[in-house]
Amino acid sequence: MNSPPGTMQPASSLAQGAATPAIDVHGLNKHFGDKHVVRDVSLRVERGEIFGFLGPNGSGKTTCIRMLCGLLTPDSGSGTCLGADLLTESARIKRQVGYMTQRFSYWEDLTIRENLDFVARMYQMGGRAEAVERALEGLGLQDRAGQLAGTLSGGWKQRLALAAALLHQPQLLLLDEPTAGVDPSARRDFWEELHRLAAQGISVLVSTHYMDEAERCHKLAYIAWGTLLAQGTAAQIIASLGLATWSVSGSNPPSDISAALRGAPGVAQTVVFGTALQVSGTDEVALGATLGKLGRDQPALRIERIDTRLEDAFIYLMSHARDPAAQSAAA
Amino acid sequence: MNRFAHFSAVRWWGIVRKEFLQLRRDRLTFAMIVGIPLIQMALFGYAINTDPKHLPTALITADRSEFTRSFVAALGASGYFDIRQTLPDEAAGRRALARGQVLFVLDIPAGFTRELVTGRHPSLLMEADATDPVAVATALGALQGITQSALRKDLTGPLAPLGQKPAAFDVQVHRLYNPEGDSQYNVVPGLMGVILTMTMVIMTGLAITRERERGTMENLLATPVLPIEVTTGKIIPYVAIGLFQATIIVFASRYLFGVPIAGSLVLLYGAALLFIAATLAVGIMLSSIAQNQLQAVQLSFFYFLPNILLSGFMFPFFGMPGWAQTLGNLLPLTYFNRLVRAILLKGAGFSDIWPQVWPMLIFMGVVMAVAVRFYRRTLD
């Protein structure tokens, strides 16, 4: 194995780790034809951080991730991945990044072992056989190493894909909806593994639709229509929106009050949550007045102030952000 | 992106290994590799005949004599004409031709013998269905010789002066390399290039588009593997397959069709290797352009047809107009057909075949460059 300057060397990359963030990109743009799918996205992910990437379907998450690992060339923007320039050093980036695609994209007509061995060869790994054995052991798949990857269940495919993405000991993991379609216990195991990796100094950028997963990330970014709407820790994102939230319970069904409150002063959104209705708004005073009036009209209701949850914040972000194409047309 | 990243033998071999493993598990493709050359050899080798014989012929005889009987017997003996029926008149002859029951109608008019013996140089009418010129050409060509020789033994004694006098000089024809004029000598070696073109272009055409269609291309592109490693690595297993197919064809042509192997087998394999590489480069290029497997197959057929029609496999190369020859000269199959025929039938050596070798080298270089250029490093 040859190691030209810039290939991964544990010692040097640790030294680098202190100096440069894992991902530091500014003003990324990408068009597909005349569709502007990513608009001026800037991201900063520190070393050893688990960074959650959230947003509705088609918001540009996958496109962003593909630009970060060199699968797509940004139309404009600049930045670095693990200290390597995004535009000119994609070969260097590829060597140190582990990428897990949204759809299982290993070779279904190769066995588990053959897939891992192939990946090891692509990264010119030394001690290939041991690395593959270690990965198989970690997966607990030594007995089934000769099984074709296509015959694995969804959960096992996902674990194989993670093991393959980790095989060359990358410094940065890019995971595109890794837990879609995976059962809850497998998801929990998966996230424990991610936290173990982060503790070792590996940075993780993971896109997800699950709120419980978002809450397990160190930092989050929320993207819609290709535009980054919020970035920071969960607490920072919630605080930045200035949402006040009340829980209204005791009415059956809660959707009746929801209809009554829609459009009332101060009410930005209502979300049914079990038997309770959560009402949020940015104008705390107006919302308080509206709910006070509701309490007087229907004394049976229990109305209490609660903390705004991440989910409320994201629902608020999604419903209040407009498609910039439509916005610019209006302006 | 470091454009001059080093070629890595480890990665390259990884690609080669992967292709072999996948190929081994793809039973249908495997069956095609062996099946296609065998079936096509058997089918075309036995079926295609550029020297058709035993063509159905009808007779209209308004005059019967020793002379007409001799002539009809000579027609049958030539092997070209197979006299199937005797018809009453010319109208019946036309009908038989129009219906395709016969290809020839020989009309012997009344009083033919009397005119012949009195030296008035009578005519026989041979009507031929010339819709397919190739089908009737050789038989009609043989007619002249038959007329001359048929009556020679009958025109003796006082009738001898009616026989044709020999020309003032003679042209000796020497049919070299294929004295019997056996069309299998021509068709079977030609099949080697045709079969290789078809299987090689389609199989490699599918090789890259398959990765794209199954989504595995995304994975491949995310690794540091270089385009040159992917494209050349994917070619290698098919080179082995191509040589295997060539071997099947050489065996079949020698032992099934009795085509001689006059030249060096090493030279033949060298030529086959070069041709396979050139053809695979085409397949890789097509698959770099095509978006999916269906398009790759369609593009393969666009490439395949001119190769069959313009390369001299099906129709004589020098019979084509100049512009078509120019087009044919752009195709590697044209050169390979000449190469194979030269080595197998003529025993040509390396210096004889060099004029056919360098155009193939240039073709391969250009196509490979285009393929690597168009190979998408990204998903853009």
Top residue of A109, A172, A177 to mutate, by most chain B CBs within 10 Å, is A109
From B280's Cα to the closest Cα of chain A, the distance in A is 23
List, in order of start, the domains of chain B with CATH numbers: 9-48+181-374 (no CATH), 55-162 (3.40.1710.10)
- CB-neighbour burial class of residue A263 (10 A; exposed 0-12, middle 13-18, buried 19+): exposed
The pLDDT tens digits of the residues spanning B264-275 come to 999 999 999 999
What's the pLDDT score for residue A14? Answer: 44
Report DSSP letters for A293-315, one per residue: HHHHH-TT-EEEEEPPPHHHHHH
Q: Report residue A181 as tokens.
A: 């379609």
Q: Do A122 and B223 touch (CB under 8 A)?
A: yes
What's the pLDDT score for residue B5? Answer: 67
Average pLDDT, chain B: 86
pTM of the model: 0.79
Average pLDDT over residues B103-115: 90
Helix axis angle for B293-310 and B183-214, nearest 10°, is 160
For residue A115, the chain B residues in CB contact (below 8 A) are none
Q: Looking at chain A, which residue has its C-alpha nearest residue B19?
A: A110
For residue B379, the chain A residues in CB contact (below 8 A) are 66, 71-72
The residues in A 174-213 lying below 8 A from B, measured between CB atoms, are none
Residue B300: which of B318, B287, B313 has the closest Cα? B287
The answer to whether residue B2 neighbours chain A at the CB level (below 8 Å) is yes
Residue A49: which of A261, A233, A283, A257 has the closest Cα? A233
Distances (CA, A) of A64 to A42, A54, A181, A204, B20: 10, 12, 22, 14, 35
Cβ(A114)–Cβ(B21) under 8 Å? Answer: yes
Compare CB distances from B216 to A88, A94, A107 and report the shortest one's residue.
A107
Q: Do B11 and A119 touch (CB under 8 A)?
A: no
Torsion angle, alpha carbons of A194, B224, A168, A88, to 10: -60
Residue B117, beta-bridge partner list: none
- Rounded Cα distance, B207 and B223, in Å: 18
What's the pLDDT score for residue B322? Answer: 92
- In this predicted structure, the answer to whether residue B3 has a pLDDT above a threshold of 70 is no
Task: For chain B, state the CA radius of gyration.
Answer: 28
What's the pLDDT score for residue A6? Answer: 39
Neighbours of B344 (CB within 10 A): 24
Cβ(B136)–Cβ(B55) under 8 Å? Answer: yes
Q: Which of A193-207, B89-103, B146-160, B225-239 has the lowest mean pLDDT?
A: B146-160
Cβ(B333)–Cβ(B248) under 8 Å? Answer: no
Residue type at B57?
Answer: T
- Cα B329 to chain center, whole Å? 16
What's the pLDDT score for residue A256? Answer: 77
Top residue of A122, A168, A174 to mutate, by most chain B CBs within 10 Å, is A122
Cβ-Cβ contacts under 8 Å for B355 (sequence gap 6 or more): none
What's the pLDDT score for residue A19? Answer: 63
Instruction: Tell me the range of B31-35, B178-182, B277-281 where mean pLDDT is highest.
Output: B277-281
Q: Do B222 and A124 touch (CB under 8 A)?
A: no
Q: What is the value of ipTM here, to two decimals?
A: 0.80
The pLDDT tens digits of the residues spanning B137-196 come to 888 888 888 887 777 777 766 666 666 666 788 888 888 888 777 778 888 888 899 999
Top residue of B10, B26, B28 to mutate, by most chain A CBs within 10 Å, is B10
Helix axis angle for B27-47 and B183-214, nearest 10°, is 160
List, in order of start, the domains of chain A with CATH numbers: 19-236 (3.40.50.300), 238-330 (3.30.70)
Cβ(B124)–Cβ(B108) under 8 Å? Answer: yes
Q: Looking at chain A, which residue has its C-alpha nearest residue B211?
A: A107
The answer to whether residue B32 neighbours chain A at the CB level (below 8 Å) is no
Q: Report residue B333 as tokens.
A: 């199959």
Helix axis angle for B183-214 and B265-289, nearest 10°, is 40
- Rounded Cα distance, A226 and A36, in Å: 7
Regarding beta strands A219-224 and A227-232, do their DSSP bridges make them parallel or antiparallel, or are they unpaired?
antiparallel
What's the pLDDT score for residue A18? Answer: 52
- Rounded Cα distance, B226 and B361, in Å: 23
Counting as low any pLDDT under 70, the low residues of chain A are 1-19, 251-252, 322-331
Q: Report residue B328 as tokens.
A: 């044919």
For residue A118, the chain B residues in CB contact (below 8 A) are 14, 17-18
Average pLDDT over residues B81-94: 90
User: How many CB pairs lie under 8 A apart between chains A and B?
Assistant: 84
